[in-house]
């Protein structure tokens, strides 16, 4: 019996270690993003607000960061105006950090990432043809993350905010 308990404990310890795999070296500067987050912010186009949760985990042996979100939208008067789920995968490819975003309606392929290890990351899409998108995460305190999503119209370099907000690490 004692032996079965020891084997079960070792298996459970192995499973918890596997789920907390360290990030691959290319993604190591993004470890500050990992965690459960909650918060909200402003929507520039409607004057409304968004509130949501985000869970960012290391997956595939630390080779991918996976972000899963749920966002609830409110109009300028504070009344519910819908919501949506999101998924984003961050990974290294050909010596660069890429990210692919999905929300059931849109797909955004970020092809550049400017990383200040442990502090911030700015993801940008390839300019040309259509609008250019920029997604910024900036750690303001150990448990506080500012997020900004912006767009530059085709042929322009100035980014206009679409949504900004702050999330806090959920405990």
Whether 11 is in a domain gets the answer no
- Structural domain span for residue 164: 23-169
Q: What is the pLDDT of residue 21?
A: 65
- Residue 112 in any domain: the answer is yes
| CATH label of the domain that carries residue 99 | 2.40.128.20
* pLDDT tens, residue by residue, 91-148: 999 999 999 999 999 999 999 999 999 999 999 999 878 899 999 999 999 899 999 9
Say if CB 152 and CB 134 are below 8 A apart. Answer: yes
Three-class SS of residue 25?
helix
Tally of domains in the chain: 1
H or E element at residue 3? helix 2-19
**Mean pLDDT taken over the chain:** 87
Q: Examine residue 161 and state whether it is found in any structural domain, yes or no.
A: yes
**CA distances (Å), 9 to each of 6, 14, 29, 69, in order?**
5, 9, 32, 33
Q: What percent of the chain has pLDDT over 90?
A: 75
For residue 2, is it within any domain?
Answer: no
Q: What is the pTM of this model?
A: 0.83
Q: Is residue 4 part of a domain?
A: no
pLDDT at 16: 34
In a domain, 69, yes or no: yes
- Span 21-29, mean pLDDT? 91
120 and 97 Cβ atoms separated by less than 8 Å:
no
């Amino acid at each position: 019996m004692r032996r079965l308990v020891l084997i079960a404990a070792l298996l459970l310890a192995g499973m918890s270690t596997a789920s907390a795999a360290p990030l691959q070296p290319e993604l190591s500067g993004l470890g500050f993003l990992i965690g459960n987050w909650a918060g909200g912010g402003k929507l520039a186009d409607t004057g409304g607000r968004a509130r949501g949760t985000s869970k960012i985990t290391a997956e595939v042996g630390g080779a991918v960061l996976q972000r899963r979100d749920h966002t609830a939208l409110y109009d300028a008067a504070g009344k519910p105006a819908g919501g949506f789920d999101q998924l984003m995968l961050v990974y290294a490819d050909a010596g660069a950090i890429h990210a692919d975003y999905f929300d059931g309606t849109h797909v955004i392929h970020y092809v550049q990432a400017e990383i200040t290890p442990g502090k911030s990351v700015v993801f940008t899409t390839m300019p040309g043809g259509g609008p250019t998108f920029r997604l910024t995460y900036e750690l303001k305190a150990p448990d506080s993350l500012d997020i900004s999503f912006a767009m530059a119209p085709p042929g322009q370099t100035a980014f206009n905010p679409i949504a900004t907000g702050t999330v806090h690490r959920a405990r």
